[in-house]
C-alpha cells in the first residue's frame, strides 16, 4: 500500500529549503513546465496559472499514488504590469536592476496544492522598494552571478538584501515560497505544518 506523500514540483533549491523549514517530509519532482505569459493575461492570473500547471504536471507524474499531494509554486517580480522573469544573460539582468532601482515593485508568489480529489491555492503579494542603484553596484552584483535564474534578477536572501529599503509582505514569498500561506494550505490537506 502506498502512503500519503507530499511532493514539491520544483527545481528551486530555495523552495526546497523553505518547505523544509515546515518540518515535513516530501519528495521532489523535477518538471519542465513552460512559463509563458499569454497576450493580455494579467500578471496575477499568470502567476496563479503557472503554479497550478506545475502542481498539475507533478500530479500526473505520481498518478500511481492515489494519496499523493503535490505542491506547485511560482514567483514573479512585477513592475508596471510587466513580469520580470529570469534574466536571459548578464546584460538583461543589469537592465532589470536599472528598472527596479529607486522604485517599488511587486512580488507575486502563488502556491497550488493538488491531490487526485481536490485543489487549493493561495497567493502572496509583497511590495518591495529598492534604493537607487548606481552602475558600479549593478555591475558588481551581476558579476557575482547571483541574478542567474532569479525572477527580477535578484535574490532577497543574498547580496540584493542590501538593495531593499522597504518590504511590505512576505519575505519567504519574495524568496519563492510564502510560508504562512503554504502552511495554511497544508493544514487544509491534513498536514500538521
Residue spans per domain, the chain: 6-189
Tell me what pLDDT residue 192 has. Answer: 72
Tell me what pLDDT residue 63 has. Answer: 84
pTM above 0.85, yes or no: yes
| Whether domain 6-189 has CATH 3.90.950.10 | yes
Nearest-5° Cα angle at 124, 9 to 131: 110
C-alpha grid cell, residue 102 = 529607486
Tens of pLDDT along the chain (193 residues) come to 334 699 999 988 999 999 999 999 999 998 888 888 999 999 999 999 999 999 999 999 998 888 899 999 999 999 999 999 999 999 999 999 999 999 999 999 999 999 999 999 999 999 999 999 999 999 999 999 999 999 999 999 999 999 999 999 999 999 999 999 999 999 999 887 5
DSSP state of 159: G
Choose among 188, 15, 22: nearest CA to 118: 188
Cα–Cα separations (whole angstroms), residue 63 to 58, 60, 70, 73: 9, 5, 11, 19
3 state SS of 100: helix
Tell me what pLDDT residue 34 has. Answer: 84
Instruction: List residues with catalytic annotation.
Output: 74
Tell me what pLDDT residue 88 has. Answer: 95
Residue reference for cell 519575505: 171
Amino acid at each position: 500500500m502506498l502512503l500519503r506523500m507530499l511532493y514539491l514540483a520544483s527545481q528551486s533549491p530555495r523552495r526546497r529549503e523553505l518547505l523544509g523549514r515546515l518540518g515535513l517530509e516530501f519528495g521532489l519532482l523535477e518538471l519542465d513546465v513552460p512559463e509563458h505569459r499569454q497576450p493580455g493575461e494579467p500578471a496575477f492570473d499568470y502567476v496563479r496559472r503557472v503554479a497550478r500547471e506545475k502542481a498539475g504536471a507533478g500530479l500526473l507524474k505520481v498518478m500511481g499514488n492515489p494519496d499523493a499531494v503535490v505542491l506547485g509554486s511560482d514567483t514573479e517580480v512585477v513592475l508596471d504590469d510587466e513580469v520580470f522573469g529570469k534574466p536571459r544573460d548578464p546584460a538583461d539582468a543589469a537592465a532589470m536592476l536599472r528598472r527596479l532601482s529607486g522604485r517599488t515593485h511587486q512580488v507575486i508568489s502563488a502556491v497550488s496544492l493538488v491531490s487526485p480529489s481536490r485543489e487549493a491555492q493561495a497567493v502572496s503579494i509583497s511590495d518591495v522598494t529598492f534604493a537607487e542603484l548606481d552602475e558600479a553596484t549593478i555591475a558588481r552584483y551581476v558579476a557575482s552571478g547571483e541574478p542567474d535564474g532569479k525572477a527580477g534578477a535578484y535574490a532577497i536572501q543574498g547580496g540584493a538584501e542590501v538593495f531593499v529599503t522597504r518590504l511590505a509582505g512576505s519575505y519567504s514569498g519574495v524568496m519563492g515560497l510564502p510560508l504562512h500561506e503554504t502552511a495554511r494550505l497544508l493544514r487544509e490537506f491534513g498536514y500538521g505544518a
